[in-house]
Amino acid sequence: MIRPRKMKRVQLTVLKNDVNAVIEYLGCNGAMHFDESETQAESAEAVSIRELLERIRSGAEFLGITLPAEPEADSTLPGEPDNALAAKLCMIIEALKEREMAAREEKQRIDEAYGEAKAFSNLNAPFADLDQLSYLTLRVGRLDPKVRDDLKEKLGDRAVIIPLGGEGDNRFLAASSRKGRFALDSELKNASFESIDIPEGYQGVPAELLEGLEGRLQKTKDDLEKINGEKEKLRGEIQMPLRRLSSLLLEALAIERLKSRLVRTSSIYLLSGWVPADIIPRVTSEISKITGSRTAIRIYAPDEIPEVVSGGEKVPVSLKHGAFVKGFEGVVFSYGAPLYGSIDPTPFVAFFFTLLFGIMFGDLGQGFVLLLAGLLTGKRGARQLARFRNFSSPLVAVGAASMVMGFLTGSVFTNEHLLAAPSRAITAAITGRPADRILSIIPLAEEGGSVTKLFYFFGFTIGIGVILNSLGLVINIVNCFIMKKHEAALFSKTGLAGLLLFWYAVFIALRYIFGGSFQWFDLAGLLVPMFFIFFGPVLWRGIAGKKPVLEHGLLTFIMEGFVEIMETASNYISNTVSFLRVGAFALSHAVLSFIVFKFTEMLAGSVHNPLGSFSALLILAFGNIVIIVLEGMIVAIQVMRLQYYEFFSKFFTDTGVAFTPFRFRKGE
C-alpha cells in the first residue's frame, strides 16, 4: 500500500458495568486512537490500585524480583481474590522487611558501641573515669529481664542494652552516646537498674563487657543471615505470583486512568476515537458480543466531521505493511507522520535505504554479520535481544544488500582472494575476459589503473539521486492534488513546474555527456518552467479571481520570484550532487578494506613466523570490527541524511498525527 489506511471515528456508548471489559478488549487489540480530552482527578479505585501496585514494587525491590514494566500478554483484570492475595503477599514482605531493618539497626548500634568500648579497652585509666574521657557512656548493672524489652523500646536508637551473662543472668551493659546519657540514666532509674561496682583501680573496659558486646554482635549477624535465608526462600515462592499480580494491576491501572479521560455520567461512558476502517466490522462485532449488544455504536467518515473538514483536527495516520517495509516505518515517523490521505513514502524509503546502504557498505562477510544480527533480533531470535526487534528487518535488508555488493566487488571480510575464482568464471562467461572482480571501485595498477569505471560508478550514484529527487517531486505533486492545493501542485518549485525544470536540466546534462551541445530550444525548455515558478502566484490568483492579483505589491512579488528561482536552481543542483557522497563512501569503504587486507597479508607473509600469523589474525579481526561498527554507523547516518534532506524535503511540508491506539503493551 502507498496510501495510509482509511480511518473512521467510532463512538461507543457503554454502560458502566461493561466499560472495563470493552476497554480491556480495545487495549489488548490496540484498536482505537482515543480523542484528546482533559484528564480528571484519579478515582478512588485508581488510587487504591496505584497504592497496591507501589507496595508490590517496593516489596519486589526488597526481594530482588524484576517486575514487568507493562501488562503481559495473558493478563486480565484482577478480581477480588487477586487483590486479597496481593495485599497478603505485601504484608508478608513488609513484615520481613521490618524485621531486617530492625536487625540492621540493632547491629549498627552494637557495632558502634563495641567499637567505642574496644577503643578504650587498653586505656591506662580507671574504668570509673571513662565517663569523662570518651564519647561513649557505659552503665553496668543488674536489670530484671522482664523489663528489658520495654526499656529497649523506650530508649529506641538512643542506647543499646546488652545482656552480659547466659540465660537467666540479670547482668546487663547499657551503652549510649554522650548526648544520650541523660535519657539513658533516666530510663534506667525508672526500670530499677542496679549498678555493679567495678573493682577499684580497674584499668580500661572490663573484658567481660567486651565479650558481652561481641556475643550480642554475633547474635545480630546470625539473625541477619537467618532473615536473608528467609528472603531467598520467599523470593523463590512468590516471584511468579508477584509478577502476575503486578501485570494484572498494571492493566487495571491503565484502564482506570483512561476512564478518567472519558465523558461519562453516573451510569454511562462515551468512548470516542479513530479506528482503521478495515477492522471496524471485527471490532464492533466483538464489542457487541462482550456487552451482549448493550453498546450503541456510531461510525463517522472523516469528511462528516466539521473539525476535520475545517482543518482544526487531523486524522491519525496508520500504515499497513509487510515485515520488510514495516521495519522502516521508524525512519519515516522519526521525521514526521505523513498527512492522512497522502502518499505513504515508507515503501520507497525501504527500497532506497537498502540500496544506498548496500552500495556504500559492500562486503560479503561484513554484510553477513549484519544479516545475522537482524535474524538474532527477530521474533525467532534471541530473547535477550527482543528490545532491538524493531531493527530486525532493516538489518536483514541492509545485510543482504551489502552481501550482494560485496560479491560484486569481490570482498569477504576485506579478503580479496576468496571470491576471485567465481568472479573470473562469471566475467569470462559474460564478457569473455576473466577478472578478479565483477565490479572494481578502486583503480588498481594491476587492473590497468583506469579511473573510467570509477567515473561510471559515480555517475550511477548521481542517477540514483535524480530518480530519488524526481520521486519526491512526483509524490509532492500528487499529495498537493489530493489536498486540493492546486497552486502548489502546478507552479511551485516542488510542483509540476519545478519537476519539468529539473528533468529538462538533467536532459541537457545527459546530452552534453554523450557529445551533444547546448541548443537554442534548450533556452525555452528552461525558461518556460522558470516563468511559471516566477509568475505562479500571480497566475493562480488571476485564475481563482482573487483580488488584488499582486497580493503584497510589485516589488515584493519581483523579489520573491527571483529568490524562488535562485533557490530552486541551487536546491536541485545541491540535492543531486549530494548523491556523490554515496560513491565517495563506497570508495572509502573499499579503500579501508583494501588497507586492512594488505596489512594482514604483509604480516602473514611468512609461514615460518607464527607471531606474524597471529598478528595478522588480530589485525583482520580488529579491522573488520572497526569497519562494521564505526563505518556501519556512519553509512547509516549518511543514508538517513539523504532520505531526510534530499527526499523528504520535497513533500514533507506538513506533518500528520501518528495513529497511537490505547494499548497495554507499547512494544506491540
Per-residue model confidence (pLDDT) at position 553: 76
Lowest mean pLDDT among 26-35, 71-80, 352-361, 448-457: 448-457
pLDDT band of 168, cuts 50, 70, 90: low
What's the CATH number where 183 sits?
Answer: 3.30.70.2750
Domain assignment of residue 203, given as a range:
105-224
pLDDT band of 472, cuts 50, 70, 90: very high
> What is the gyration radius of the CA atoms in the chain, in angstroms?
39
Tell me: the pLDDT tens digits for 495-539?
A: 999 999 999 999 988 888 888 787 888 888 889 989 988 888 888
Contacts of 242-246 with CB under 8 Å at 24 or more apart are: 242/56, 242/59, 242/60, 242/63, 242/65, 242/67, 242/89, 243/65, 243/67, 243/68, 243/72, 244/72, 245/56, 245/78, 245/82, 245/85, 245/86, 245/89, 246/53, 246/56, 246/57, 246/60, 246/67, 246/68
* Distance (Å, whole) CA 167 – CA 443: 94
Q: Mind spelling out the 3-state secondary structure of 420-446?
A: HHHHHHHHHHHHCCCCCCCCCCCCCHH
Predicted TM-score of the model (pTM): 0.77
Q: Is residue 544 part of a domain?
A: no
Q: Is residue 54 part of a domain?
A: no
Tell me: the pLDDT tens digits for 103-128?
A: 888 788 777 767 666 655 554 555 55
Q: Is residue 601 part of a domain?
A: no
Q: How many domains does the chain have?
A: 1
* Distance (Å, whole) CA 446 – CA 431: 19
* Distance (Å, whole) CA 368 – CA 324: 17
* Distance (Å, whole) CA 242 – CA 220: 30
Lowest mean pLDDT among 7-16, 251-260, 495-504, 541-550: 541-550
Q: Is residue 386 part of a domain?
A: no
Q: What percent of the chain has pLDDT over 70?
A: 87
Q: Is residue 542 part of a domain?
A: no
Helical ranges in 627-663 per DSSP H: 632-641, 649-651
Between these two residues, 101 and 614, which has the higher pLDDT value? 101
Per-residue model confidence (pLDDT) at position 368: 95
Q: Is residue 191 part of a domain?
A: yes
Mean pLDDT of the chain: 84
Per-residue model confidence (pLDDT) at position 133: 42
Between these two residues, 57 and 148, which has the higher pLDDT value? 57
Q: Is residue 143 part of a domain?
A: yes
Q: Is residue 259 part of a domain?
A: no
DSSP 171-219: EEEEEEEGGGHHHHHHHHHHTT-EE-PPPTT-BSS-HHHHHHHHHHHHH
Contact of 247 with 82, CB cutoff 8 Å: no
